[in-house]
Structure 1
Amino acid sequence: MKILHTSDWHIGRTFHGVDLLEDQCAVLDAMAKITADREIDVVLISGDVYDRAVPSADAVKLCNDAFEKLHAAGAMIIATPGNHDSAPRLGAGAAFSGAGGLYLKTTVAEVDAPVVLADAHGDVAFYGLPYLEPEAVKAELGVFEARSHQDVLSAAMDRVRADVERRQSGLRSVVLAHAFVVGAVASESERPITVGGVETVPASIFGGVDYVALGHLHTPQVVNETTRYSGSPLPYSFGERDHRKSVWIIELNDAGVESIEKVDLPVVRGLSEITGPLDELLSSEVYANCLDDYVSAILTDPVRPVDAMRKLQERFPHAVHLRWERPTERVALRYAERLRGQSDLDIARRFFEDAWTDPDEEHLRLVEQALAAGDSRERRASA
């Protein structure tokens, strides 16, 4: 049996205000092509199918289209909700969709009720663990004192292992889970998986199954040989600009995992971070290879440029983020300490330097007049 492991589609997400549906459609089409070309039997989606609990109509349509294309490519699909999804909404119609090859495992009650699919070697049981918020699920899992993700995931995995043991000898088992495993590396674009409490869990919690398909972290990574994150299919922060997005293809034999291969997804649109004075960014050929990328620009002009984003977008149509960092000598002193003992005029001068530009004599003359007028009013008020 060949399995494709993906996660964290985040359909409907925006990137610095830019709608990503077109990019998401392109990368999901590429995933369907990989599924057909590599003759994948089962596609696993480990949470965060959507970016929000109530997705837009366009996001729902894109998701349904992606499911149809994956199924048309020859694969069964098993999906679980993450911390961004609404489990009831994602799971709506699950009883009917399963008959067509789309299995939506969205409830706590189903953690030990696997999807069982067969190949030439026998049965493979796929256990879908939805995102488990401790306070929301601890009663249903029978762990009333649970305070952490480790507590509730341990209880869920105990149920999974008990079900594996009840079934016939030689059963191969796969778990889908949405969690933050100790030792894995986060990026900038994940939303914290919990508010308060401990969000990380040890990899050992998933012992006793043949493969663990993890979701939540957006960087493809190996926790251990058979416990892996696929990462998101697109970069969702500039901190991911050097990541190569991918999926895992797992092949099972009669004894369990035979091989695991990383298959790169196409780069739909690159991400570039560029730094320098505005005129240089607009003219230098050094940045010619960034013209089609999403661009984050850090301007280092002595004076904040006027209408900088509009000018940037004339050269970089997909510029989406802008920050101005005026080059100044940084000192490791608190601002109050830097100003101690200085006159009001000196403080005003420093404010000009830090926030705008070096003040000329006319600026300083006006500030001095304003300070003098203020002093005069204070003296009159005191009298």
Structure 2
Amino acid sequence: MTLAPTPPPRKVIHIDMDAFYASVEQRDHPALRGLPLAVGGSRERGVVAAASYEARRFGVRSAMSSATARRLCPALVFVPPRFDVYKAVSRQIRDIFARYTPLIEPLSLDEAYLDVTASPSGLTATAIAQAIRASIRQETGLTASAGVSYNKFLAKLASDQNKPDGLCVVTPRKGPAFVEALPVGRFHGVGPVTAARMHKLGIFTGADLRARDLAFLQEHFGKAGEYYHLAARGIDHRPVRADRPRKSVGSESTFPEDLVEHEALVAGLLPAADAVAGHCARQGLAGRTVTLKLRYADFRQVTRARTLPAPIADRETLLATGVELLAPLEPVTQGIRLLGLTLSNLTGDGDDPPDGQLGLEL
């Protein structure tokens, strides 16, 4: 029997624009250059969609409430978002990507995966990443950071390594050591709550994660355990999927103590409303269907959904709708350990396709 040849390792690039919305505003308005800048609502209950690097030095981050951002940086300058401009620039950038490969998986207006394994250019993946960054700078006046590796997981980690305006290449020989040295909080899919759970188990780095076997990780993290097991070894089999549309945006929180009181439940929904609103703001998305997810102390799970007459994306409406969906389930007779909100029935550019090992030379 003749075995099928082993497919060649992938060559994957992750491109991430540097402080995209804020950088566009500073490009178009020279008076804003060098100032701590936030794109988003300046109202007390608004949300920061993006922050310039000058603002990030004060701890200002996207999806943060405007009130918190202003407390951290009293001199913060707020500007309203111009999604039509961001979308136009994003199309310019995607046109640059298309010169090198048709396999482009946009994650948002400002980042994408590219599979250049069979690029018609004949260039190495590193040379392609360098050429793309140079073209972006020349044609848009903006900077981008790039990660180059043999899978999506490592390429995304690498693009964040030398930000802003940086390039990082993780070859198959370097992959395992690169992962082992990283804090688990840097892993895609490991949020603050999961990182805290890992820390309690003595898992602080990729090396610590790799030292735990699959059974241990599945026991403590369920289905995600297999992902963590593979990620700790620098393994990711996901292909780059061109023009894959996003169907929903969601966020959820697991609480260290079960919630019972109404005020605590509303407060428990706030992080999800913030995260979804911030994500929608960054991608220019809105949606009509809000879904509430909750999990009781006995792990029984309930979801409730409502479709609104018009698309929404702001934190206030998301939170208010979530509270309305929660009302029929109150008073709570037993504690709630998890709350989440999802926005679906999406509209916007982020939901549409664009006009969505050894010896590998990277």
TM-score by length of 2: 0.25
Greater relative CO (CA pairs within 8 A, separation 6+)? 2
| Structure number with bigger Rg | 1
